[in-house]
Amino acid sequence: MRLYLASRSSARAELLRELGIPFIIAPADIDEAKIIEQHSDPLDLVEILAKTKAETVAADLSGDYIVVGCDTVSVRNGKILGKPRTKEEAKEMIMMLEKYPDNQYTGVCVISPEESFARTFHANYIFSGFREVDVDNYIASGEPFSNAGALNPRGKFAGTFGLTVKGYYHADFSLPLEVLVSVLRTHDLLPDFSKL
């Protein structure tokens, strides 16, 4: 059984590596911008993006496989935010946290020859107590550019400031652990942790 990660996300790949799970990175070649333009509801959007990624990769596979497709968006003040492209865009996104909570939505889709399902997750993050110099230092670290809304609630920035979480705590992982572990356990793909 082969596990495919339908994503370019270094954070998702790192999570699988940390769990000791062998996998193949197989980014889906899809037009995300077009899909984003067509969907304004963040829960629908992340589910559709996750499904489209997983289905695109699975279409080229045969034999025993599991494909995991994921997507995460951040919503602040009603605006859906993807990953920032510039330092200025990252700073604008982060500074919004002074006034608005960060709502993160993650969709995950799992496809194998035997099954296909999708789930969505949501969490609300409220930050307090940061200074502009801290934001500039965080942006200089490069971390914002690999995260929706320029923010990883478990990253360097979040670790420095007050954080309140409401909702599914792991929504920000971009690869919800409860779904991943359940699927891997079902297919006997979890490593034997007693031997680690």
> 45 is written with which tokens?
């959007």
pLDDT value of position 157: 66
> 103 is written with which tokens?
């709502």
Q: Which of the pair, 122 or 89, is modelled with greater confidence?
A: 89
Q: Residue by residue, what is the 3-state secondary structure of 131-160? A: CHHHHHHHHHHCHHHHCHHHCCCCCCCHHH
pLDDT value of position 21: 82
**pTM passes above 0.75:** yes
State mean pLDDT over 39-44.
93
Identify whether 71 is a catalytic site residue.
yes
pLDDT value of position 182: 82
End-to-end CA distance of the chain: 21
Q: Poorest-confidence range of 11-20, 49-58, 133-142, 152-161?
A: 152-161
* Given 60, 64, 71, 102, the catalytic residue: 71
At the topology level of CATH, where does 2-195 sit? Maf protein (3.90.950)
Q: Which of the pair, 177 or 101, is modelled with greater confidence?
A: 101
**Using 50, 70 and 90 to split pLDDT, how confident is the model at 3?**
very high
Buried b (16+ CB within 10 A) or exposed e, 83-102: bbeeeebbbebbebbeeebb
Domain boundaries, the chain: 2-195
158 pLDDT more than 70: no
Q: What is the mean pLDDT of the chain?
A: 86
**Using 50, 70 and 90 to split pLDDT, how confident is the model at 1?**
confident
Share above pLDDT 90 across residues of the chain, in percent, rounded to a whole number:
42
Name the 3-class secondary structure at 171.
Answer: helix
150 pLDDT more than 70: yes
